[in-house]
Every structure is written in structure tokens, then in C-alpha cells.
Structure 1
Amino acid sequence: MGPGLYSDIGKKARDLLNKDFHTDQKFTLTTYTSSGAVHFSVRIIIQSQFDCNAITAASTKKNEAIFSEVQAKLKQKNVTVDVKATSDSLLLTTVTVEEFGVPGLKKIVTIPFPNQTAGKAEVQYLHDYAGINASFGLNTKPLVNFSGVLGNKAIAVGADVAYDTATGDFTKYNAGLSFTNADLIAAVTLNNKGDSLTASYYHLVNAEKNTSVGAEVTRSFSSKQNTVTFGTQHALDPSTTVKARYNSNGMASALIQHEWRPKSFFTLTTEVDTKAFEKSSKVGLSLVLKP
């Protein structure tokens, strides 16, 4: 019920304008267990047995490249362990501890392999009137990130900074402001070290039909260019949703998403460059299965 984290500022509009607009081919399969043991093998080399909440296998084809990953999520009381193996030989382990000693406090440790020096420790704290996120790299000269938001569920103001201890420079400093009521969310953020200003707007027109509209305007002060994106979504029925968006660069996108069973989605996306119709349009397909 509080202001959330800094990443939540403008998130509703970003999700409306960007979420599920994939022009790749993607397949995701997730299986769940309540408390039973799960056997699985990776490349027929490693075989393990443990209590597991979910195992997800995903594969994405982009152009001629195929990227795949297998992810296992285990949860015991307030501790969640997430292990992900990818096709580019990366093993990523994330340990999350909820309610870490204080209500609203969360601790997250991420360790990649083989590059363990790229690991990160993170702390999040959510309060009725504040949201704080701090992280630092697990190496001798880490990158330190800090973001904080003050306010409530109606209005919030926040800042997001990053400091590189190796160079002694601030690599990022952003600021944001958001206003929220029952059916409208407006946000303004200053990004890229003050070089760009983004204003976003989200309006829930009809809650029953999940009909909403949104827009985002970004002004780059260095290039003196403006980018405008607007979009909408509407539920044709309780299981089928359509979305569309268009930006000032002439890119038009549309998608239709059908939930053919609970938590299982089929999404078809198309994108057209209206300023160059001679180019082939892009078509994306996503299938998410969660038995």
C-alpha cells in the first residue's frame, strides 16, 4: 500500500507499452510440485533430487540464434533459492530471504558462475511511506547502487544513483515523481544523468473489460529529439486480450494474447515500420505453459 520501489515509478505505462510485444519465437514450460521430490538432469551429466516448487524451461529464437535456459525455484519458509542455467554456459544462483529480521525487509544475493566477481548483494525495504533498494557488487571495488522513494500510494518522489568505487564516479543519477489515483497514474522521470526527461500516463478506462490507454514522451536534451509512444489494450473476453502501440519513429505493433488455460498463454505479435512498408513485417510467437 506504500509508494513501492523506484522501479515502480511509471511501471504501469511501461508495461502497457512494452510488455509481451516480442518479435521473437519463445517457448516456456513450467512444472510445479507442492512438496514431492523432483528428479531432473542437465545435459545427462548432473542428476539431483530435492524438494522443488517450480522448474521452468525456456527457449527463445531471435534471428538465427537460439537462447535456452532451465530454471529451478525452491522455497522453504521465507527463503527462496533460484538456480538458472543458460545455453551460453552461465549458472546463476539467487538466494532471497523475505522478512529478514524486520517486516518489509528483503535480502537478495546473486552469484553467477564462472564469473563469481560479478555477484551482487541487495537489500530491499518496503514501508507504508518509503521504499528503499540498495545493492553492491561482491568484489574488491564494487559498483554501489541506491534508490529510495518517499510518499504513499497516491504520490511518490524518489531518486536512483550508482557509484563506481573503482573510478570514484557516479555512473547514474536519476529522479522521479508519480501520482496515482483509482484509475490514473502519471509519472515524470529525469534519466541519463539529467540528459533526458520522460513523462508517462496510464488510464484505466474500463476495469470490467480491462480497457486502458497510455502514453510516454521522452525528450533528449543533448540531441534535442522527442520520442512519443502511445498504446492501448482491451479484453475481448475473460481469456483474450488485444494490445496495440505506435511511436513517433513510425513503428506500429499489435498483439493478441489468449489464456487457453489458467496461467498458460498463447501470444501472437506483429510489428510494421509504417515509414518503410517495403520492409518485411516482424512476427513474434510466444507460448507459455504452466500445467
Structure 2
Amino acid sequence: MKGPGLFSDIGRNAKDLLTKDYTCDREVTLSTVTASGVGITSTALEKGGLCYLDMSSEYKHKNTLISVKVDTESNISTTLTLLKALPSTKLAISVKLPDCNARKISTAFKVSEALPYRKLAVSVKLPDDPLKLKLQYFHENATFATVVCMKPSPAIEFSGTVGAKGVSFGAECRYDTARGKFRKYRAAIGMTSKYYHAAFILADRGDTIKVYGLYHFDKKQKASAVVELTRKLSKNENTLTVGGLYTVDAQTTVKARLNNTGNLAALLRLEVKPRSHLMISGEFDMKALDRPPKIGLALALVP
């Protein structure tokens, strides 16, 4: 897709470096593909003293994709996706059991390029859930997106971005037609290049200011530094978070973050074999060193 990207893309690189993959849970994921082409993924998660187990499978035959997922609560979700059901279209139908007695069938219809530079998605859950319509427009110097939710109270979300040569300006708002008021609006400015990403975001009706900065020290982006500054005007509060990432080699990556409240988090990512990795994360309060640190472990294996 062409254009400066969606409004949600402004500042995303910096936010991902500060938040992505940090976890204090224990998780093991095992993925494999059978000789017949059936992909099977099993996930075991320990969170808050509780254990969760999910198992999903996926099978693709020509233009048909079938996905089945079973979770700890014995819920079964089945999704049938028809790729290229019509030119430039994608049709998905999903059913969740045991809620089938409610006759709720979730369907999604996506037209990826019905017209040049456009992406259209329609989703509806039967019989009583809201109809949702998504439309995205991409062009060389502008991007526009809208979401219309018909029930229970019609609401329309708009977002637009304009820009060129690494500079983008964007705005987002939500209009409640039932009350005739704007419920949410944000504005942002983003700048990006090979070596840096910067963003200024005005949110919460102008009450919150967020500033992001991400700098890469080399062309291959092996070492990076990031900073996030948040100011809440109504409370006169500031939050500063700094972080960094360093790629030791092709198999090892480390990153860390620290904020002004003394919360320190670190992450070690090891590639144990191609497409399989181990992530060890830790978090502790530097102002309360007597408390034990939180440790997270995630293992993803692909035979």
C-alpha cells in the first residue's frame, strides 16, 4: 500500500521497542506442519497462578483456509476463509461453540482493492451484534480510514494522515451520532528516516501529550535507543521512559527499559534454532529492592 501510513502507525516503532515482548508470564508455544499441510500450534500459558492451554490448527487447500482453535474452557472457534472468492476479495466465516445455541455467526468480507488504492472490510455477527464497516484509502501523500459501527449506538471513527519525504501529519476522532458529540480526538506529527523515528501525539482531548524518539546507531539497526515522555496536563504529571536494544549477533538480542518511577525491565531473546526462540524477561522496582523481581519466560519451537 502507498501513502504515509495509517494514523496508528505514527510512533509505533518506538512504542513497540518499549512494550513488545515484555512479559512476566510463563509461556510455551509449539508449532509444526504435517506432511498433508496441516499446521498445528499448541500454547501453554501460566498467568497469575492460573494455567491456560490453547490448541489451533490450520489447513489451506487452493483458495480455502480452515482454522480451528480449542481453549481451556472448551470453546471451539472455527473459521472458514475463502481467498479470492471474487476478484480482489476475501470472505471469512467463523463459528464459536458451545455458543452455537445463540446462533451467532461472525462473518467478515474484505475487498482488498475494489478500486485503486482502496481497502474495504465489512464484518457482522448474527443475530444481534453490530454491523461494522471499515474503509481504508491509501495514496502517495495521504491515507484515510473510517470505521462505522451501526449498533447499539451508531458511532463513526475517522482518521487521516498526510505527508511526504518522511514527515506525516495525522488526526483521529470518534463521533457518536446518538448524542451528536465527538467522544474522542487525537492529533499527531511523525518524522522518520533510516536512523531515527520521532512522534508528537496530542491525546485525551488535548489533556495528554506524548513525545517519542527512536534513534538507530547504525544502518543495520543493531543498536537503538528510545525515549518516551508523557505529560498529563490536568494532573501536572510527567512520566519518562528510556530504553535500548542491542543485537549481539544473529541469534542474540537484548533490550531494556527504565522509567522515572524506578521500574526496570530487561529482555533476552535467543534463537535456539532457525524459527525457534527463547525469551527471558525480568522486571523489578528499584525503589523497593526487598521485593522479589518478576520473571517471565516464553519459548516458541518450530520443528
Fold in common (TM above 0.5): yes
**Is the partner of 1:16 in helix, strand or coil?**
helix
In structure 2, the partner of 1:120 is: 132
Amino acid in the other structure paired with 2:24: T
Report how many aligned residue pairs link the two structures: 274
| CA distance in structure 2 between the aligned counterparts of 1:211 and 1:105, rounded to whole angstroms | 37
SS in 1 for 2:18: helix
Shift of residue 90, structure 1, vs aligned partner: 8.2
1:102 and 2:102 are equivalent in the alignment = no
Distance 1:117 1:176, change over 3 A: same
1:228/1:261 Cα in 2 relative to 1: closer, same or farther (>3 Å)?
same
Aligned equivalent of 2:284: 272
- The amino acid across from 2:300 in the alignment is V
Distance in 1 between the 2:193 and 2:252 partners?
A: 27
Structure 1 unaligned residues grouped into runs of 5+: 39-53
1:76 shift after superposition:
8.3
Letter in 2 for 1:20: D
Q: Letter of the aligned partner of 1:234 in structure 2?
A: Y
CA contact (8 A) 2:114 2:120 kept: no
Q: CA offsets per residue over residues 10-57 of structure 1, 9 Å max, x none?
A: 0111011111111111233344579x564xxxxxxxxxxxxxxx5544
Q: Distance in 2 between matches of 1:56 and 1:3?
A: 35
TM-score, normalised on structure 1? 0.81
The within-5 A match list for 1:8-27 is 8-27=9-28
Question: Residue 2 of structure 1 corresponds to which residue in structure 2?
Answer: 3
Deviation at 1:65, TM superposition (A): 2.9
The 1:159–1:225 alpha-carbon spacing in structure 2 relative to 1, beyond 3 Å, is: same
SS of alignment partner, residue 17 of structure 1: helix
Shift of 1:251: 0.3
Separation of aligned partners in 2, 1:77 and 1:107 = 23
Partner of 2:43: 58
* Alignment match of 2:235 (pick from 220, 223, 226): 223
Distance, in Å, in 1 between the alignment partners of 2:249 and 2:32 is 27
Cα distance in 2, alignment partners of residues 235 and 165 from structure 1: 49
Whether the 8 Å contact between 1:183 and 1:205 is mirrored in structure 2 is: yes
Shift of the 188–170 alpha-carbon distance from structure 1 to 2, 3 Å rule, reads same
Aligned-pair distance for 1:232? 0.4
Structure 1 vs Structure 2 CA RMSD: 3.1
Contact 1:78 1:99 in 2 (8 A): no
Which residues of 2 match residues 186-265 of structure 1 at below 5 A?
A: 186-208=198-220, 210-265=222-277
TM-score by length of 2: 0.78
| CA 188–288 in structure 1, closer or farther in 2 if over 3 Å, else same | same
In 1, Cα distance between equivalents of 2:231 and 2:65: 40
Q: Tell me, yes or no, if the aligned pair for 2:194 and 2:219 is still in contact at 8 Å.
A: no
CA contact 1:83–1:94 (8 Å) conserved in 2: no
Instruction: Tell me how far 1:78 sits from its aligned partner.
Output: 8.9
- 2:15 and 2:254 mapped to 1: Cα distance? 16
Residues 227 and 215 of structure 1: CA distance in aligned 2, closer, same or farther (over 3 Å): same
Q: Show structure 2 runs of 5+ residues with no match.
A: 78-93, 95-105
Bigger radius of gyration: 2
From the superposition, tell whether residues 119 and 269 of structure 1 become closer, same or farther in structure 2 (CA, over 3 Å). farther
Q: CA 1:211 to 1:116, structure 2 compared with 1: closer, same or farther past 3 Å? A: farther
Aligned-partner SS, 1:268: strand
